[in-house]
Amino acid sequence: RSCSTWSWKSCRRPFFQAVPALAYLAWPGALWVAFGEGGACGPACATAEAVMEHCCCLAVLLGVSAALWDVLETAAVGGLRAVCFCCGNCLVFRFDLEDHITPAHDFRDCSSDVAAVEPGTNGIVTSLKVAALWLTYAATAVLYAGCTWGGWAGSPAQQAAFRFLDTACHAGLCALGFVLLEHWLRPCRGQRAEADELRGAREAALLDEAPLPAAEPP
């Protein structure tokens, strides 16, 4: 369903989730993509981008740690077969690194069988999609390593492409940061707010699924 058929209460979370990412894209993201470290970007813009680079590295370390924990927990609970499913899901990009640190993710998701969860999937289309993702991943990794550690400047178009990919990654981190912050602050809202949300969800389900009550006789 779209937000046009839902109330503001059901749509405010994705709205506020997008606000930090859009704010980052407005500043410093757009200036960083357009001008790099010089020109209209300025020292404050470059400093903000440097801070986001460190946040990106922190997110990668957290994602790798959470993924390793999921693999170990999967092995302890499901054994070798579950670990094989988990590794297979990683190879086909069913889960990204940031998925492992989102609150809704569970280690049982990592070990689920794709064929059982998504029956009828076209094998050829899936293989082409995975191959394209791996090629994109490898090209991005080479570009990032060359620009960051190899001292390779490249052409202005290649530098702009690097900054664009960098900004897209940082915008995704801003959205992920809001999801984690909202999850951590949820206990502060109290049991009453949680009960209100649960009651609202049940009422919405009843309105959607239950038949209309029969009219009472006069």
pLDDT, tens digit (0-9, with 9 covering 90-100), for 105-144: 877 777 776 545 555 566 788 788 889 989 988 888 888 7
Asked if 109 and 71 count as a contact pair (C-beta separation under 8 A), the reply is no
CA–CA gap between residue 162 and residue 110 (Å, rounded): 31
Higher pLDDT, 178 or 211: 178
Q: Which two tokens stand for residue 43?
A: 């020292």
Higher pLDDT, 183 or 66: 66
Question: Of the segments 141-145, 149-153, 180-184, 200-204, which one has the largest average pLDDT value?
Answer: 141-145
CA distances from 121 to 36, 47, 87, 116, 124 (A): 43, 46, 19, 10, 9
